[in-house]
Amino acid sequence: MTALAHPQECLQCGLCVTVCPVEMVGGHAIVTFMADPTATDFSVWLCTSCWRCQESCPGGIDIYGLMMAWRRQESDTAPEGYRVAFEHILAHGQAMAVSQEELDQMRAAWGLEPVRLPPPDVARRLLTPSPAVR
Amino acid sequence: MKYSYYPGCTAKTTSVEFGFSTEAVCEALGVELVELEDWSCCGASSAHSLNHELSLALPARNVALAQDTHLDLVTSCPACYQNSLKADRALREDEAWRRKMEETLDFRYNGEGEPRHLLDVLSHDLSLDEIRARVVKPLKGLKVAAYYGCVLVRPPEFTGWDDAEHPMTMDRLLEAVGAEAVDWSYKVDCCGASLTLSRGEIVTKLSSRIVNGAIEAGADCIATACGICQINLDTRQKCEREVPIFYFTELMGIALGVSGLEKMWGKHGVDPRPLLRERGFLA
């Protein structure tokens, strides 16, 4: 993994490690790297996005932002769940892999009226710089 | 009282009971929700992990659509709420990005269509007295642990929530409909969120800690405002007894006498019907 620069403002106080729920149950998330820039046994994908680390940081470091930049840099190591959901957003405009037919059946089973799925190509159109995609 | 309503994907699919109870409770309280025409997915957690631009552009599209309605944009999903907030802030503060989005989406940003969470709207645009006045079946004797989770309250400088460590908005709403909101220490702890897809064992540990905390505090059940929190706590708890996990809107719905909730109790992992029958809230 190509490490992004360890933030200058980090005092390595370790507060972020003490509040991280993943560290609490034995996992090593990005806060392991914050506390020890030489650490290699952590994963930027092991994060629940709870913002505890950022809330606790006395240096006011955007740990979440750093981690997201790292994730995007290492996107080929993304767990399958992320990749599948992302591909689905690109192809169908939504993270959830559900077809109109499945959705209709599910909602009918709970006695609810049918709903239309979002426009399928919305993500691609947003990423393509052409006017008036709404 | 009228709002633009952004249900988000989960309220229409895996958490239909959240979407249904949200709409039913708002109707019972005289809060008019007008579903945003042609809304799209906010990008969920995969977009911001893999494509920053898309994670801001997808919710910006909803903000742009909401702006046309001149109404605040209300959602009950914390992830949709936070992604919409981020998109709105980027449009407000990043001029180059705003110009790009204005061109792509063919609109002029003016700050209308402000993203708001349902808890905020029910707590601040209505008074607790107005809610009390509509209660037909008070949840007398029901001890509820109000669980907020992460994304709704943190980071506090961003969400502007009442108190990121000890929020009380949901507690007050549950008390207004007659329930007893217990004091407990886990209301903003993390359930494990989307790690449920890749690292279930972590989520089992984190969710069980939270449910155990509610048991220790003497709660009969937990109330949540988040689809993934509900599913994690509901299906991954491994504790001495099973604790029903409700959406706060379901509990409010019982007290407000809305019909149609009963057909969805079977969708819960921990069947809430024995508890509801025992307390006389279900025939």
HSE-CB at B188 with a 13 A cutoff on CA atoms is 23
Complex ipTM more than 0.85, yes or no: no
Contact A126 B54 (CB under 8 A): yes
Element (H, E) at B181: strand B180-181
Label residues B220-249 b or e (16+ Cβ within 10 Å = b).
bbbbbbbbbbbbbbbbbbeeeebbbbbbbb
Assign A129 a pLDDT band (cuts: 50, 70, 90): low
A78 in contact with B, Cβ within 8 Å: yes
Give me the amino acid identity at A9: E
Percent over 90 (pLDDT), chain B: 84
Distance from CA of B268 to the nearest CA of A (A): 12
3-state secondary structure of B50: helix
**Are residues A131 and B193, on separate chains, in Cβ contact within 8 Å?**
no
The pLDDT of A25-49, averaged and rounded, is: 92
Domains with residue ranges and CATH for chain B: 2-119 (1.20.1050.140), 136-278 (3.40.50)
* Residues facing B143 on adjacent strands: B180
Strand (E) or helix (H) holding A23: helix A21-24
The answer, for A22 touching chain B at a CB cutoff of 8 Å, is yes
- How many residue contacts between A and B have a Cβ separation below 8 Å? 168
> Torsions phi, psi of B143, nearest 5?
-95, 120
Structure token digits, residue B154: 């943190």
Helix residue ranges per DSSP H, B106-225: 118-124, 128-133, 156-159, 169-176, 195-198, 200-216
CA B212 to chain centre: 22
Task: Tell me which residue in A86, A94, A110 faces B9 most closely, judged by beta carbons.
Answer: A94
pLDDT at B72: 97
Q: How far apart are the two ends of chain B, measured CA to CA in Å?
A: 33
A73 touching B (Cβ < 8 Å) = no
| Predicted confidence band of residue B37 (pLDDT cuts 50, 70, 90) | very high
Neighbour count for residue A51 (Cβ, 10 Å): 23
Q: Kindly determine whether residue A55 and residue B194, on different chains, have CB atoms separated by under 8 Å.
A: no
B188, B153 contact by CB (below 8 A): yes
Chain A interface, mutation test: which of B15, B42, B46, B150, most A Cβ atoms within 10 Å?
B46
Grade residue A130 by pLDDT with cuts at 50, 70 and 90. low
| Best mutation target, A76, A100, A126, to test chain B (most B CBs within 10 A) | A126
Name which of A125, A49, A108, A16 is nearest B159 in CA terms. Answer: A49
- Determine whether the interchain pair A82/B49 forms a contact, defined as Cβ–Cβ distance below 8 Å: yes
**Closest A-chain CA to B48:** A68
